[in-house]
Structure 1
Amino acid sequence: ALRARVPDAAAAHVVNNGAAALVLAATALAAGREIVISRGEMVEIGDGFRLPDLLVSTGARLREVGTTNRTDVADYAAAVGPGTGCVLKVHPSNFRVTGFTRAARTRELAALGVPVVVDIGSGLLAPHPLLPGEPDAATELRAGAALVTASGDKLLGGPQCGLLLGDAGLVGTLARHPLARALRVDKLTLAALEATLTGPATPTETALTADAGELTRRAERLADALRGTGVDVRAVACAAAVGGGGAPGVELPSAALSLPEPYAAALRAGPRPVVGRVEAGRCLLDLRAVPPEEDEPLAEAVRRARTACRAAEG
């Protein structure tokens, strides 16, 4: 199923998460050798997880090149030598550096004569019109990456797993490495991943491509119905973030129900918890994250929250 979705990959392998995919690649390619990486890509993601610590734990040595904001292909070329295991290019998937910046392209790095591993992070398999700046597996492989690593549970919208796509010989070596058994996934994960790849649109894709005009109409209908029951609610325009370790800084036009701030806690504590966000003293329920069939359950949760808020005031 992965090969069908990414024909540019000669082979594919699946492990238990995105970090595991990178650990397996670094261990097999660079244990006791050097990984050449830009200083601007030595990232930290959630829960204090730092990429340099992960890579060093494999027994590889890090050869940092360039600066935080600018790293040219010449910086990599000067560092590559007999001790190089691979060049690693990492997508900073939860932040952006803007202004006076430069990053070497995969096509440039592939000409250096050593394996290029590209960690795209989010699991986008092919270009997406709404995410023109987000790297994808197909494009990176066409540009000459020997291996692409990614998560299956972010933009792809599948189960937690790590994807390895690329050169058949390299992927085969990784799949036969002793560490691969410790990182393997179970049958349920493989079944869920296959269903994600071959089935209907995932909730992630549906939310990403939702029509802003229809979101506005839904918000107005819900607001009108809730005001009739005494709720202080307004339909408002808002901006939705893609989030989930993908497309940092990208905002999508959306619509939300705007409620008094105390509703945020009351909704979370309800029998069917609803999580909104608080902006400018109001609780926003962004409908881009709510399937249309959940509109009535959402309205019922708001009505219950109104009762809880009034009881707290009394």
Structure 2
Amino acid sequence: MSEDPRRRVPRTDAVLADARLGQALATLGRARVKEVVVAAQGRARAGEIAPEAVADEVVATLPRTAASMRPVINATGVLLHTNLGRAPLSGAARDALDAAAGTTDVELDLATGGRGRRGAGALAALAAAVPDAGGVHVVNNGAAALTLAATALAAGGEIVIARGEMVEIGDGFRLPDLLESTGARLREVGTTNRVRREDYAAAVGPQTGMILKVHPSNFVVTGFTSSVPAGSLTDLGVPVVSDIGSGLLAPHPLLPAEPDAASELRDGVPLVTASGDKLLGGPQAGLLLGDADLVQGLRRHPLARALRVDKLTLAALEATLRGPTPPVRAMLEVPVSELRARAETLAARVGGAVEVVACDAEVGGGGAPGVALPSAGVALPAAAADALRAGEDPVVARVEQGRCVVDLRSVPPEADARLAAALARVLR
């Protein structure tokens, strides 16, 4: 009788002793490497690989890091892709994360040895970026910023909000559910498509805690419509909160219809909330900017402790605000001619097996809905999208009009070599 090849599958400890696994054991940990070894042994027992190839299979399939998340190239043309982590951080922000990962002075005054203000550097950078704000505060995301404001100002009372601004965003998250969870009641005004200032004025009463203006962010209503700017509601006797959503701190010429924090504050809005990981280009965070006394009251509210950001967020946010242009802004502003030149170079590198195409990108992430950003990229057969996504260095593209489009507006130039290698592997 012939020997069962499964008997030749090497023992776990023998594979772990392979010199090629030394670095992986140090960086990934013995338990994680052992998981890969056991998986390779299972493939050998199933006859998928030779028993003698187990160690080689382990070396080839070891993950790069101990975490399961994998870096991907965003070639969708959506600059702020929620499923891909929204804003990619700048090099300065990544360096700040590395520095903050150890022991830091996040809440210590090194000069006195006493307790310091948590995140003082990040808050000072935010205040400098939005000088029209009398006070600033940071929580862990945009929804948290709105939750804190609603809890502090309207718990047990009413929030006046236009019907057309009762939005639902990704994953079935509905703004009305969030607001009602704070203990506030919603007082809807206007109709789906039209609301007037007198609608708000008629709804304000003794139970009103605040008026909320919400940027629709992920849809556009056109035609027979009307809305009221937040600044036109500030004389109704209650706080007005403007949730601009996208995190644009100042007007941008390419996005003239997108609300920004500076303009809202100059119009007299007492409180603006926004996200840090959208057009600001930083880490996930919720920004609160506005009247000094109002922001201070929110900062001292008991709920603020539960919504507090960690040292990594503070470090990345400060570096984003003080450092060089973040990737999202660079992607937004890059000329189409430059994208076209990159696309032609990319096509040449992969042997001309792809077509250089003009296309349209978008901001995404709840910013500038309906705004098309002229772009350029390359097109492949539609089936290439699955192969690119499943590759060793995953590329996420989009399929439209029966073809796979690799949009370069959302790809940083430094990733072009990786992208070319991924395309070449798929085309082969």
- TM-score (norm: length of structure 2): 0.70
d(CA) in 2 for partners of 1:200, 1:80: 44
Larger Rg over CA atoms: 2
State whether structure 2 residue 409 is matched by structure 1 residue 288.
yes
Given the alignment, which residue of 391, 404, 408 partners 1:270?
A: 391
d(CA) in 1 for partners of 2:162, 2:332: 31
SS of equivalent residue, structure 1 residue 71: coil
1:64 corresponds in structure 2 to 188
Cα deviation digits, residues 41-73 of structure 1 (max 9, x gap): 000011111000100110111100000100000
1:223 corresponds in structure 2 to 347
Q: Which amino acid aligns with 1:299?
A: A
1:42 corresponds in structure 2 to 166
1:107 CA displacement: 2.1
State whether structure 2 residue 222 is matched by structure 1 residue 98.
yes
1:82 CA displacement: 1.3
- TM-score (norm: length of structure 1): 0.95
Given the alignment, which residue of 369, 376, 393 partners 1:248?
A: 369
1:187 corresponds in structure 2 to 311
d(CA) in 2 for partners of 1:222, 1:9: 45
How many residue pairs were aligned?
Answer: 304
d(CA) in 1 for partners of 2:264, 2:243: 10
1:234 corresponds in structure 2 to 355
SS of equivalent residue, structure 1 residue 242: strand
Higher normalized contact order (CA 8 Å, seq sep 6+, divided by chain length):
2
Cα deviation digits, residues 256-308 of structure 1 (max 9, x gap): 1101111101100111000000111111110111122221211110011123x
d(CA) in 2 for partners of 1:302, 1:47: 31
Superposed CA RMSD = 0.8
Structure 2, unmatched stretches of 5+, are 1-124
d(CA) in 2 for partners of 1:127, 1:67: 29
Cα deviation digits, residues 2-46 of structure 1 (max 9, x gap): 110100100000001100000000000001111000000000011
Q: Which amino acid aligns with 1:105?
A: P
Q: Which amino acid aligns with 1:79?
A: A
1:197 corresponds in structure 2 to 321
d(CA) in 1 for partners of 2:363, 2:330: 12
Cα deviation digits, residues 224-279 of structure 1 (max 9, x gap): 33235xx3x10000011111110001111100110111110110011100000011
Cα deviation digits, residues 118-167 of structure 1 (max 9, x gap): 00001000000000000000001111111000110011111001000000
Give the number of the structure whose residues are more often strand, by fraction. Answer: 1
SS of equivalent residue, structure 1 residue 119: strand
2:425 corresponds in structure 1 to 304
1:169 CA displacement: 0.6
Given the alignment, which residue of 76, 81, 105 partners 2:200?
A: 76
State whether structure 2 residue 207 is matched by structure 1 residue 86.
no
1:25 corresponds in structure 2 to 149
SS of equivalent residue, structure 2 residue 395: coil
SS of equivalent residue, structure 1 residue 103: coil
Q: Which amino acid aligns with 1:49?
A: F
Structure 1, unmatched stretches of 5+, are 308-314
1:123 corresponds in structure 2 to 247
SS of equivalent residue, structure 1 residue 141: helix
SS of equivalent residue, structure 2 residue 358: strand
d(CA) in 1 for partners of 2:413, 2:367: 24
Q: Which amino acid aligns with 1:141?
A: L
d(CA) in 2 for partners of 1:11, 1:108: 22
Given the alignment, which residue of 238, 253, 258 partners 1:134?
A: 258
1:190 CA displacement: 0.5
1:311 corresponds in structure 2 to none
SS of equivalent residue, structure 1 residue 102: coil
Given the alignment, which residue of 180, 196, 213 partners 2:337?
A: 213
1:154 corresponds in structure 2 to 278
